[in-house]
Amino acid sequence: MILLPLLVGYSLALTVGLSVRGVRSRTAIAGPAPATPPRKVLIVGATGGTGRHLLEQALARDLEVTVLIRDPRALASDHPRLRVVVGDVLDPAAVDEAVCGQDAVLCALGHRRFFPPSRVLSEGTRNLLRAMEGYGVRRFVCVTSLGLGDSAGRLGLAYTLVVIPFVLPFYFWDKARQERLIEAGRAAWVIVRPGGLTDGPGRGDRRAGRDVGSFFETVRVPRADVAAFMLDQLTDDTWLGAAVGIVSR
């Protein structure tokens, strides 16, 4: 009987910690779209679930795409507007090569090494932001997750009490570091916080905002819809400088 309250207390304490460590979204900044829409974009995490949708949709939008991947065999595409840079996001030299000449960077970094603690997300993002500043690349769109900053708890009770504290604590803590680095950087950034990601087809029926999600029910959204929303942020300043949640209606 003593164990259960302790576990619940730990889960709630972690939720508070993620709330404090993540970005506190400010009111969206309405403004004009960029004078010159980005044409050359770098996608980091292009072999992951959301990244593959980003790549497919970016090419469909006639963008010139560069991807930074560790294993070229993981990406079977010879599209004429696709450039592949082989390297690791933790390698500054590889990141420099990928970022040079871009108009914008789309970050869908992720990994499956949930234990032990890792800084892949935060350190990879640090390298990207450093390279962007060095080469004068301004626009940065990065996917993290609901459950951070002022969206803490909004993935639903199952995530708040079980999944995040007992399966993904280090992963989410690193996501919180990642958000803080983005906020402190000089890029024109948008942080996209999806609900639980699904692999079904895009529905196009999504809701975005600071207060999306639920403290009780698990909220979800297709990866395809997240990718489309991220690409929209390349030319839309509505959420510039803010962390915006996105879920299916």
- pLDDT tens, residue by residue, 207-240: 999 999 999 999 999 999 999 999 999 999 999 9
pLDDT band at residue 2 using 50, 70 and 90 as cut-offs: confident
**CA count, 13 A, side-chain hemisphere, 56:** 16
pTM of the predicted model, to two decimals?
0.94
pLDDT band at residue 5 using 50, 70 and 90 as cut-offs: confident
What whole-number distance in Å separates Cα of residue 92 and Cα of residue 183?
A: 20
Does a structural domain hold residue 20?
Answer: no
Nearest to 144 by CA among 58, 22, 27: 22
Average pLDDT over residues 68-92: 93
Nearest to 209 by CA among 139, 125, 160, 150: 150
User: Which domain does 84 fall in, by range?
Assistant: 40-248
Average pLDDT over residues 140-145: 98
- Amino acid 10: pLDDT: 85
Does a structural domain hold residue 35?
Answer: no
Taking 3-state DSSP, the helix, strand and coil percentages for the chain, each rounded to the nearest 5, stand at 40, 20, 40
Query: Is residue 115 within 8 Å of residue 170, measured between CB atoms?
Result: yes
Does a structural domain hold residue 161?
Answer: yes
- Amino acid 1: pLDDT: 61
Does a structural domain hold residue 13?
Answer: no
Does a structural domain hold residue 50?
Answer: yes
Does a structural domain hold residue 15?
Answer: no
Nearest to 127 by CA among 197, 48, 181: 181
182: domain CATH number?
3.40.50.720
Does a structural domain hold residue 21?
Answer: no
- Amino acid 90: pLDDT: 98
Backbone angles phi, psi at 175, to 5 degrees: -60, -40
**The total number of structural domains that make up the chain:** 1
pLDDT band at residue 11 using 50, 70 and 90 as cut-offs: confident
Nearest to 131 by CA among 179, 84, 178, 90: 90
Does a structural domain hold residue 32?
Answer: no
Q: Which residues contact 225 (CB under 8 A, 6 or more apart)?
A: 202, 203, 204, 206, 246, 248
CA distance from start to end of the chain: 39
